[in-house]
Amino acid sequence: MKYSAKLMNSLCFKANLVDWNETRIYRYNVLRGYLMETNDLFKQNSIFGSITGREQDRLLQQAVKRQYQKGEYLAHAGDIWPFLFYLSEGSITAVKESSEGRSLIATTFKSGEVFWGVSFFHPELPMPVALKVDKSSHVYLWSRDQLLPVLIKNGQVSWELSRLMVRRMLRASEIVEELAFQPVAGRLARLLMEFPGQAASGPTARSLTLDDMAARIGSTREMVCRFLQRFADEDLIKITRTEFEITDRDRLMDMAQKVRG
């Protein structure tokens, strides 16, 4: 049986229309599921979870929603950046950079965490660090003007934000102590102990470069390379260009706990 060209074109058009509609429905369901999951995580946050559901929904609607790719910046050191952000997905680092090109990763923010620019609280003070995207991230942003009425109205929100600030200050104190009193070998050993995937036995893929490691412990790539080779020679670790494995966790832990004499 032969079909006319007009009929065939009509059938093809209908088939394509069905596929297009199915794709739209699938994408809508994926986006809807993602937004519902984000809303649930947002409402479980210690800061935003302390306000009413209606206020939470209003804040989510007011937020500027942005997606950043690895290597992009939310803010640079020296910027006047009066915003608070909620990270719904991804990873963002706070990086301190020197004029000589060296960098120190002060901390890393993961999904569900909150942080702010200094000028969110003090309008004239610049950012002391850069906020750099370490992994593709979804961010919710609010300005000082948007959140200030919420902080003034809801004492519990201000209290939870203050508690978070104290935890950040304690972590900053720990970093200063490590840099001041712990040798490079100890800081590197601690980083390796906290290396992603080390909870499981066997080798894991290397997710940090030498420069990444150096930035996280306040050293140089040359020093990191030297101590990695030393750890490998002493059978504390096994390391290649693509994989990494701790072979003597107890001795590496002892190394991580050493302080300068």
The pLDDT tens digits for 73-113 are 999 999 999 999 999 999 999 998 877 778 888 889 999 99
At residue 10 the predicted structure's pLDDT band, cuts being 50, 70 and 90, is low
Query: What pTM, to 2 d.p., does this model score?
Result: 0.69
Task: State what percent of residues in the chain have pLDDT above 90.
Answer: 33
**What's 48-180's CATH class?**
mainly beta
Lowest mean pLDDT among 164-173, 190-199, 251-260: 190-199
Angle between helices 210-217 and 221-233 (to 10 degrees): 100
**Ordered strands of the 204-205 beta sheet:** 204-205, 243-246, 237-239
Please provide the average confidence, as pLDDT, over all residues in the chain: 82
Give the C-alpha separation, 176 to 187, whole Å: 12
Task: State phi, psi for 126 to the nearest 5 degrees.
Answer: -80, 165
Q: Look at 76 and 257; give whichever has higher pLDDT.
A: 76
pLDDT above 60: residue 15: no
Q: Look at 123 and 20; give whichever has higher pLDDT.
A: 123
For residue 204, how far is the Cα from the chain centroid? 20
Hey, which bits of 144-183 come out as E strands?
none
What residues contact 120, with CB distance under 8 A and at least 6 apart? 81, 82, 83, 84, 144, 147
pLDDT value at residue 115: 94
Mean pLDDT across 55-62? 86
**What's 182-257's CATH class?**
mainly alpha
At residue 28 the predicted structure's pLDDT band, cuts being 50, 70 and 90, is very low
Domain ranges of the chain: 48-180, 182-257
Range ranked top by mean pLDDT from 19-28, 94-103, 216-225: 216-225
Give the C-alpha separation, 260 to 187, whole Å: 11
Q: How many CB atoms lie within 10 A of CB 81?
A: 22
Task: State what percent of residues in the chain have pLDDT above 70.
Answer: 80
pLDDT above 80: residue 43: no
pLDDT value at residue 64: 93
The pLDDT tens digits for 108-138 are 999 999 999 999 999 999 999 999 999 999 9
pLDDT above 70: residue 252: yes
pLDDT value at residue 76: 94
Lowest mean pLDDT among 4-18, 63-77, 190-204, 217-231: 4-18
pLDDT value at residue 34: 44
Task: State phi, psi for 123 to the nearest 5 degrees.
Answer: -55, -25
- CA distances 69 to 73, 133, 135, 142, 177, Å, are 9, 7, 7, 20, 33
